Structure 1
Amino acid sequence: MSVRGIRGAITVEVNEEQPILQATVELLNGIVKENGIVPDDICSVFVTVTGDLDATFPARAIRQMGGWELVPLMCALEVPVKGSLEKCIRLMVLVNTDKTQRQIEHVYYGGAQALRPDLTKS
């Protein structure tokens, strides 16, 4: 068994608490579904947001999901590169799995599909 990183990102339209929390849940649920994982498989989740999203901590949404109470979570600001994607939430989910790197399904929603078009499903 190996520890693998699963990437995901999603954009929100506004810097408001509920859209940020809802987008975080949508993204994490997509990662879980695409990779067939459960909270007990998760080592940790690293969450970043762009500087224009400061209405809430996205990790709050994850902590309220059933079974995720004990998963270590960490929030941080994304590097503020000029011209980069705005209003974006990114997740790095570290998971114990027998899957190979090629079998991991990374998830990109909304405007975040532009970050990794090579990994985005149509």
Structure 2
Amino acid sequence: MSSAVRALRGATTIDADTPEQIEERIIALLSELMDRNDIHHDDLISVVFTATADIDSAFPAAAARAFGLGDVPLLCAQELDIEGGTPLCLRVLVHLNTERGREELHHIYLEGAQGLRDDLPE
């Protein structure tokens, strides 16, 4: 199979809105996404993060830079503030080059975000 541009989704939650907790959880999420999908740094095209409105102590992209992704285009945005949505939630959308098909990719949901997409294959 030839290389294609694909996207991976993931999310996690924090217990407290602190820069340290955001960094810890974003690094855990990125590590799991990359390990589980055998992604190498050079496979990455860009990463988009969103945070719910109750998170304002740090940019998730700062954690990604601490993780070593400073040369990858990173973007942060605020998640829609939907009634009943998961609070203190950080989401990620990773664009990458891969030879894997969509059905071979593993989206990762950690902590309180585990139930957000129970329709996706494990």
TM-score, normalization: structure 2?
0.94
Quick check: 2:23–2:62 contact (8 Å CA) kept in 1?
yes
Match of 1:30 in 2: 32
Residue of structure 1 aligned with 2:52, choices 45, 50, 54: 50
Q: Secondary structure at the match of 1:70?
A: coil
The residue type paired with residue 4 of structure 2 is: S
CA distance in 2, matches of 1:31, 1:13: 21
Match of 1:113 in 2: 114
CA distance in 2, matches of 1:110, 1:120: 18
The residue type paired with residue 27 of structure 1 is: L
Q: Secondary structure at the match of 1:85?
A: coil
Quick check: 1:2–1:98 contact (8 Å CA) kept in 2?
yes
Over 3 Å off, 4+ runs:
none
Structure 2, unaligned runs of 5 or more = none
Quick check: 1:6–1:104 contact (8 Å CA) kept in 2?
yes
Alpha-carbon distance, 1:114 to partner: 1.3
Aligned length: 120
Task: Provide the aligned C-alpha RMSD in A.
Answer: 1.1
1:8 matches 2:7: no
State percent identity of aligned pairs: 38
TM-score, normalization: structure 1?
0.94
Alpha-carbon distance, 1:71 to partner: 0.4
CA distance in 2, matches of 1:27, 1:120: 17
Structure 1, unaligned runs of 5 or more = none
Alpha-carbon distance, 1:120 to partner: 6.7
CA distance in 2, matches of 1:80, 1:30: 27
Quick check: 2:47–2:74 contact (8 Å CA) kept in 1?
yes
